[in-house]
Structure 1
Amino acid sequence: MSSPSTTHDQRRLFLALWPEDAERRQMAEMAASIAGRRRVRDAHLHLTLVFLGATDSAHLAAYEAALADVSVPILDLILDRYGYWPRPRILWLGCSRSSLELDNLVANLRQRLCGCGFTPERRPFQAHITLARNHPGPAPMQSPVAPVHWRIGEVALVESLREENGSCYRVLRRWPG
């Protein structure tokens, strides 16, 4: 007999800031200009807030209940610097100035989810948009010519689905501010 949390019931989930078309186009143009063919697919550009990982239906229901009344503040992010992590070979776009409001939102989300048995990652949150994977590095020394000004007022629950050509992301739900 299989339990409710068997692997077929698992969904790979994360909470993210999901860009609108205008911001996504600008991020995609940056990725194309500096990363070429190694860039992340345009439809995959996002800012992960909390990685939930493999999640069964019982935990998903508990997470959604814990987030039901979450308040998402209006955030104005300015994505104006490139970065590079050599070990995973990730080229990313981020903010030169941290956002206390964004850090507080992530802390609030993690706290709510911990009440449902969620265990957050040990590494500290660092706001970034992954532009390219397997990038030879380093990050470009110059700042983006036109920084991305991104106004955010909602958090998206996103599922990562495996497909023949890689993965596909699907927004399942949004929590507006």
Structure 2
Amino acid sequence: MCAPTEDERRLFLALWPSDAERRQLAELAAAVAGRRRVRDANLHLTLVFLGATNAARLAAYEAALTDLAVPSLELILDRYGYWPRPRILWLGSSHTPPELYELVAELHRRLRGCGFTPERRAFQAHITLARKFSGPAPTQPPVAPIRWRVNEVALVESQSSPEGSRYRVLCRWPGG
């Protein structure tokens, strides 16, 4: 992918944890991933990666999502996973609620009307805990699963800096 031009922003739609959930996620990441862990402030669950987005496309996305109905659901994060190729350690759910898959499908449907092309790979709900992780994933599940009450979707901007990516929430769509 080409680097975004000055008038483009690197964006994604995500589930953004509350401070309490973020603390739990950060503690888990510190315990299993050590120094390779993702910055605490960046922990999230990506729903749709939008990529380099100019102002006109951003306005179209926001208009398409204006009346988005975000279902209230609970995610139970209770298992680790590891993708060796990108060397990613992640936390996921042994049972992803069907409503979450439906939400992602609804986001894709709305965004397609704006010219967005979804990724070809299937959605897998996960939170990246560490990058460049030597693996494998811990074989034991987390001692205490994290119960995450989901009730909003966030539009997030990824900003590059010498210290790594920093994420900034631009807006939120609350649940009904």
Residue 51 of structure 2 corresponds to which residue in structure 1? 53
* Correspondences of 1:8-27 after superposition (within 5 Å): 8-27=6-25
- Kindly state the Cα deviation for residue 164 of structure 1 after the two structures are TM-superposed: 2.0
Q: 2:129 aligns with which of 128, 131, 143?
A: 131
Q: Distance in 2 between matches of 1:129 and 1:61?
A: 27
Q: Distance in 2 between matches of 1:7 and 1:36?
A: 34
Q: Distance in 2 between matches of 1:101 and 1:167?
A: 30
TM-score (normalizing by structure 2): 0.96
Residue 118 of structure 2 corresponds to which residue in structure 1? 120
Task: List alignment gaps of at least 5 residues for structure 2.
Answer: none
Residue 145 of structure 2 corresponds to which residue in structure 1? 147
Match of 2:168, SS state, is strand
Spell out, residue by residue over 1:102-134, the C-alpha distance to the aligned partner (whole angstroms, 9 max, x if none): 000000001000000000000000000000000
Spell out, residue by residue over 1:73-114, the C-alpha distance to the aligned partner (whole angstroms, 9 max, x if none): 101000000000000000000000121000000000010000
One-letter amino acid of the structure 1 residue matched with residue 111 of structure 2: L
Match of 1:144, SS state, is coil
Residue 108 of structure 1 corresponds to which residue in structure 2? 106
Q: 2:84 aligns with which of 83, 86, 107?
A: 86
Q: What is the number of equivalent residue pairs in this alignment?
A: 172
Spell out, residue by residue over 1:47-89, the C-alpha distance to the aligned partner (whole angstroms, 9 max, x if none): 0000000000000000000000000010100000000000000
Match of 1:82, SS state, is strand
Q: 1:28 aligns with which of 6, 26, 29?
A: 26
Q: CA RMSD in A?
A: 0.8
Match of 2:160, SS state, is strand
Q: Distance in 1 between matches of 2:14 and 2:75?
A: 14
TM-score (normalizing by structure 1): 0.96
Match of 1:164, SS state, is coil
Superposition misfits of 4+ residues, deviation over 3 angstroms: none
Match of 1:55, SS state, is strand
